Amino acid sequence: MESLKSPPPPIRRLPLEDPAPAREAAPAPARSGGAPTAPGGFTAARRSIGAPQFSIRRMEVDDVTISYGPKQAVKGVSLPIRQGEVLSLIGPSGCGKTTLLRSLNRLTELTSSAKLEGRILLDEVDIRLIEPTLLRRRVTMVFQQPNPFPMSVFDNIAYVLREQGSRRQRKKTLEPAVHSALERAGLFEEVKDNLDHPALKLSGGQQQRLCIARALAAQPEVLLLDEPCSALDPQSTQVIEDLIVKLRDDVAVVIVTHNLQQAYRIADHVAFMYLGDLVEYNSATTLFGSPREKRTQEYVSGAFG
Amino acid sequence: MESSVQMPAPPPAPKPPVAGKQPTGAVEGSATWRLSDRIGLAICWALGLLFCAIAVAIVVYLLIQGLSYLKPSMLVTPAASGFSQGESGGFSDALIGTMIVAVMGLALALPAGIAIAVWLVEYGRPAALARITESTIEAIAGIPSIVLALFGTVIFSDVLLGFLSRSSEGVVFGRSFFAASAMLSLVALPLIVASTREGLNSIPRHVREASYAVGKTKAATTRRILIPTSRPQIATGAMLGLGRIIGDTAIILVLLGATQNFAPVEGAPFPLNYLRGAGTTLTNFVYEASPTGNLNQPQKAYAAAFVLLLLVLALNAAVDVVHRRARKVGTWSH
């Protein structure tokens, strides 16, 4: 019954209430320099997670430049990636965040023109010295579009567990590992009676959690997520965000997101990229509360208007 | 509904197009169209209906003719030389011959077609070579089968390929089930390549990457994800190719020998003696039994044509089943 000229509802402002305000008291990570004085109502969408219990450095991005022909997509970026916390890469479209993410398990190499300078270390070893298929089992990835394989739920996970080119292993021997992967992704209870159903018949959110389960089945050290919720509804997004936070103790999580609220909700550290440059890397509270750089300030406040 | 309530009063402004949807309202009625457009639409309708009528006429006519002339005994009796239709037997050899060329032709074309399509879609480097391969396949698709047949006689009459057909005193006959099936597989190949490519191309890139991203090689991805996912399209291509193989006459006439019975090669072990020998298929039988052919038994031609039609219709039905089953598995959201 609204007039045609009425503005669309503000979709970005999800009034997320903090289920546990008591956790607010948790001390901000030590690295965050300034006091978290958040402008623009940022405290309203307060992070629902506590500070990380620990953090172990798993990957190290060291002065990495990635170019496609003459065009530089990522320019001299250095970052630590730690287990025990969630790292979020934010920035406007085309800022190189997805390229950077894809370079972490050498998926950029599928584009023949891509060239990487600098070093990326996984547990102190240059990833270019690791055989790509082995690297990609240690650094797995979940994509923007839910993309389960067109087979049963069970087979989607079993596909990852089977050795390269081996004959079909017996279902029984793979069962425990399949179940545990589904449990870690919080999907087991929902699909345990329907493991033989086609995976593409699950709902979008379930499909995406299946993709996370699939990525976890390889027992990775680092989990890369490329805008995993952008194709999902708010409820599914919430479920996946909770899952990501739960996973950070077992794997280092790197998530690319367009949704600043999401980054604010789940990330411990945030890297803001702009036109290939890493503008600011900081704890989420600092980056959103009192960013060091002016461009960060503009981006963070602009997007929230 | 919602917007009309508070519409500004003076001009009835045109409805704004709904986001993400074509404004379909304007195209629904053709009453306001120009005359030429309306005539064009009428022609589309008329031709579509005409086509249906032709198809129905063929099927009904063959159904009536076939059912009135077809006797079960014809399916199990080989053709025999005789002056009257009663003495000349049936076409069991032709029916079996059709099945032999169908199986052998497909057995050659299917793996080759899948392999070519996989190479073209998943590798295709260097690009120039891929382009050449593509146009070669298109060329083969365009070559009339009688030309392929002629080429086949040259190839299979070669002394080196004598083991594929009958040969005596250094002269190779060059006509056999092997020779015919090999050339027929070329007729089916382009169809299989095309539909397999279609299947592979319909798989989004991120699905391949999802497989690489859990440490799978390109080979494993192709074998376990890409080819199984393309199975419906591969099956469609196989069925279409099979239809072409079953329906081809020129290659059979030239490369299977002018005979209405199996002519096995003496001295060869069991299946080989038949496969190296000459034979016939239903299409060849229909041709020979038609008023144009040597047998001139139009009634049997109708009976055999009816059986041929049934085979082809069964293949079409199978394609439909495969597609319906594929829809049940679901697909990615874009």
Q: Tens digit of pLDDT for each residue in B288-317?
A: 988 888 888 888 899 999 999 999 999 989
If one compares B82 and B166, the residue with the highest pLDDT of the two is B166
Cβ separation A134–B215 shorter than 8 A: yes
Query: Which helix or strand (DSSP H or E) is residue A151 part of?
Result: none
Q: How far apart are the first and last CA of chain A?
A: 26
E-strand stretches of chain B: 167-168, 171-172
Cβ separation B214–A231 shorter than 8 A: no
Least confidently predicted of A162-176, A267-281, B1-15, B50-64 = B1-15
Q: Mind telling me how many Å the CA of B285 is from chain A's nearest CA?
A: 45
Tell me which chain B residues have a C-beta less than 8 angstroms from the C-beta of A214. 210, 214
**Chain A residue with minimal CA distance to B332?**
A147
Helix, strand, or coil here: B205? helix
Q: Assess contact for A201 and B330: CB atoms under 8 A.
A: yes
pLDDT number for residue A2? 42
Give the closest of B2, B212, B224 to A110, CB-based: B212
CA–CA distance, A178 with A12 (Å, rounded to integer): 36
Tell me which chain B residues have a C-beta less than 8 angstroms from the C-beta of A137. 214-215
CA–CA distance, A118 with A127 (Å, rounded to integer): 11
> What is the tens place of the pLDDT at every residue in B6-31?
444 555 555 554 444 455 555 567 78
Give the closest of B213, B224, B334 to A140, CB-based: B213
Percent of chain A with pLDDT over 70: 81
If one compares B197 and B18, the residue with the highest pLDDT of the two is B197
Tell me which chain B residues have a C-beta less than 8 angstroms from the C-beta of A132. 215
pLDDT number for residue B173? 86
Across the range B69-86, mean pLDDT stands at: 80
Query: Which helix or strand (DSSP H or E) is residue B137 part of?
Result: helix B127-142
Q: Mind telling me how many Å the CA of B172 is from chain A's nearest CA?
A: 44
Domains of chain B by residue range: 36-69, 90-328
Q: Omega into B126 within 30° of 0, i.e. cis?
A: yes
Tell me which chain B residues have a C-beta less than 8 angstroms from the C-beta of A217. 214
pLDDT at A11 over 80: no
pLDDT number for residue A3? 45
pLDDT number for residue B15? 52
Cβ separation A147–B2 shorter than 8 A: no
The band of A49, judged by pLDDT with boundaries at 50, 70 and 90, is low
pLDDT at B69 over 80: yes
pLDDT number for residue B257? 84
Residues 6+ apart with CB under 8 A from A170: none
What is the pTM assigned to this prediction? 0.81
Q: Can you tell me the ipTM of this complex?
A: 0.81
CATH assignment of B90-328, given 1.10.3720.10, 3.40.640.10, 3.30.1490.20, 1.20.1250.20?
1.10.3720.10
> What is the tens place of the pLDDT at every residue in B214-249?
999 999 999 999 999 999 999 999 999 999 999 999
C-alpha torsion angle, residues A10, A12, A13, A17 (rounded to 10)? 150
Across the range B105-118, mean pLDDT stands at: 97
Give the closest of B2, B207, B220 to A147, CB-based: B207
CA–CA distance, A108 with A61 (Å, rounded to integer): 15
Tokens of residue A289, six digits:
């509360």
CA–CA distance, B79 with B82 (Å, rounded to integer): 9
β-strands A252-256, A222-226 pairing: parallel
pLDDT at B47 over 60: yes
> What is the tens place of the pLDDT at every residue in A131-181?
999 999 999 999 999 999 999 999 999 999 987 555 666 788 889 999 999
Cβ separation B209–A143 shorter than 8 A: yes
β-strands A139-142, A222-226 pairing: parallel
Tell me which chain B residues have a C-beta less than 8 angstroms from the C-beta of A150. 228-229, 329-331
pLDDT at A9 over 80: no
pLDDT at A25 over 90: no
As a residue count, chain B comes to: 334
The domains of chain A, with CATH numbers, are 54-148+216-304 (3.40.50.300)
Cβ separation B213–A147 shorter than 8 A: no
pLDDT number for residue A29? 42
Is A177 part of the contact surface with chain B (CB cutoff 8 Å)?
no
**Cα angle at B71 between B65 and B73, to 5 degrees?**
155
